[in-house]
Amino acid sequence: MIGTGILLASYYQPGPTTAYQSVRFITEEVAFGWYIRSLHKWSATFMVAGVILHQLRVFFTGAYRRPRELNWMIGMGLLLSTLIGGFTGYSLVYEQLSFWGATVASNVADSVPFLGGFLKRTLLAGDSYNPHTLSRLFVIHAALMPAVMVALLFLHIAMVRLHGVSELRFPDDTAAKRHFPFVPDHLFSEIIMGLLLMIVLSTLALLLPAGMGPMADPLTTPEVIKPEWYFYVAFRW
């Protein structure tokens, strides 16, 4: 995500008159730009899915209980920052659906008691979508959220190493192994899973590359407005 994001940021130009054309330039003219953008998109999809599934696993196995309450809150912070990162990244393309999705999402945020107005103005850099909105979303997506996620991830892993890995235990199970060496067990297992995921992501980027929808038109509301899949439940609700 960080590697492909840096490559994309070197060409992306936030602004209502430049964003869409810069993404089109990346997708259609930059050498392997379509591949880098597709990797970034599919990585984001897998990242959101992975964090959601991980939080569900922790919840349904009761791994959030003492002494892991703080790590559960750190994990929820990771989930929230991942969703914000996905939302802001989706909005940067300045397509018709991403523009109106951001508009609807900001109005949903505005309905939050007490903090709604602040959240909406923070996202949009004003009371409504304006020429400064994409710059604000770009800073949140490319600078703020990565820094927050790296910090939270460091704390999260440190807490896991401190408390050990939570496992399903049964009444007659007295030999559950909660701690194991960081090197090679923890490190190598992460590297192996990362390499396997890179193969899957590369395959998806080749077979299902990221495309371009119609450019955003603030004066024309599309017949169907829907956000990315991870916000669809809240959107329909």
pLDDT at 176 over 60: no
- What pLDDT, in 10s, does the model give residues 123-150? 999 999 999 999 999 999 999 999 999 9
Closest C-alpha among 74, 87, 78 to residue 50: 78
Spatial separation of the C-alpha atoms in residues 151 and 164, rounded to whole Å: 20
pTM: 0.88
| Statement: residue 225 has pLDDT above 70 | yes
Backbone angles phi and psi of 69, in degrees to 5: -60, -45
Nearest to 54 by CA among 44, 64, 42: 64
Q: What is the pLDDT of residues 61-95, one digit of tens each?
A: 888 988 899 999 999 999 999 999 999 999 999 99
pLDDT of residue 228: 81
Q: Are 1 and 194 in contact (CB under 8 A)?
A: no
Backbone angles phi, psi at 84, to 5 degrees: -65, -40
With bands split at pLDDT 50, 70 and 90, how would you rate the model's confidence at 172? low
